[in-house]
Amino acid sequence: MVNLTLYGLDPSPPTRAVKMTLAALQLAYKYVNVNVLKAEQLSPAYLQKNPQHTVPMLEDGPARFWDSHAIMAYLVRKYAKDDALYPKNFYKRALVDQRLHFESGVVFAHALISITRMVLFLGQTKVPKERIQAIVEAYDFVEAFLNQEDHEYIAGDQLTIADFSLISSISSMVAYVEIDPVKYPKLRAWMRRMEQLPVYAENAEGARLFIASVKKAKFTVAE
């Protein structure tokens, strides 16, 4: 019997990535909203469960852990009927892992969360130009990945958890920098491909909420 509880926040890209994975695996779960803007992740009850006080966090019966990449890989290993979303083949899995690490370190940490912390958490109305450039650089890399071997998806010709991870962040970064379809044709085509998947519904509303919050902040870029 599956007994899953996901703690998260819909505007959070990592939370959305996990929700897409759960949808792809057709797993039922309880969802607990944790409002990080109101510091609910710092409550004693949450800290007891997760000392790192991050979202998302998954409970699977007595097991409890966090980090979206770890959660997605765990869910596929334990509950998937096959290994399509996280291949067992050494090379294919290495490629998926590389894209996941890229999303975590370059896209999310360096590009997205850095500027988001300034705009939404610290209330800065002017952000350094290099923060915008970090987003552009991330777009450049993804375009290069997709163009390298003309893949349909981010880690090859089949959908994987790397796609869920990256689409959740990139669909949020458009709040800061729109994607030029002329400069990034492969990136835009991949995004459209992802948007057509039934599981994308788990990302769409959260991305809309995230973008609305950023637009409401009315930040400008410092020269």
Phi, psi angles (nearest 5°) of residue 75: -60, -40
Q: Is 68 annotated in the active site?
A: no
Same domain, yes or no, for 106 and 49? no
- What's the pLDDT tens digit per position in 73-88? 999 999 999 999 999 9
**85 is a domain residue:** no
Q: Which of 28, 60, 79 is the last residue of a domain?
A: 79
The verdict on 19 and 128 lying in the same domain is: no
- Nearest alpha-carbon partner for 26 in 107, 67, 113, 85: 85
3-state secondary structure of 155: coil
Shared-domain flag, residues 144 and 210: yes
The per-residue pLDDT for 42 is: 87
Q: In terms of pTM, does the model score above 0.85?
A: yes
Boundaries of domain holding 59:
4-79
Give me the pLDDT at residue 38, please: 82
Among the three residues 29, 58, 79, which one is the final residue of a domain in this structure? Answer: 79
Catalytic pick among 12, 168, 171, 172: 12
What pLDDT does 2 receive?
Answer: 75
Report whether 65 contacts 58 (CB < 8 A).
yes
Q: What is the pLDDT along the chain (223 residues), one digit of tens a residue?
A: 679 999 999 999 999 999 999 999 999 999 999 988 788 898 998 889 989 898 999 999 999 999 999 999 999 999 999 999 999 999 999 999 999 999 999 999 999 999 999 999 899 999 999 999 999 999 999 999 999 878 899 999 999 999 999 999 999 999 999 999 999 999 999 999 999 999 999 999 999 999 999 999 999 999 7
pLDDT for the residue numbered 52: 87
Do 62 and 101 reside in the same domain of the chain? no
Predicted pLDDT at 172: 98
- Do residues 166 and 139 both lie within one domain? yes
Q: What is the per-residue pLDDT for 76? A: 98
How far apart (Å, rounded) are the C-alpha atoms in residues 178 and 136?
Answer: 9
CB 158 within 8 A of CB 166: no
d(CA 218, CA 196): 30
174 and 209 in one domain?
Answer: yes
- 3 state DSSP class of 4: strand
Taking the C-alpha atoms of residue 3 and residue 29, their distance in angstroms, rounded to an integer, is: 7
| CATH (domain of 39) | 3.40.30.10
111 in the same domain as 34: no
Same domain, 45 and 101: no
In this prediction, residue 167 carries a pLDDT of 98
149/191 same-domain check = yes
Residues 13 and 114 in one domain: no
- 111 contacts 134 by C-beta, under 8 angstroms: yes
Domain closes at, from 79, 102, 123: 79
Q: For residue 153, which of 196, 105, 205, 209 has the smallest C-alpha distance? A: 196
Domains: count for the chain: 2
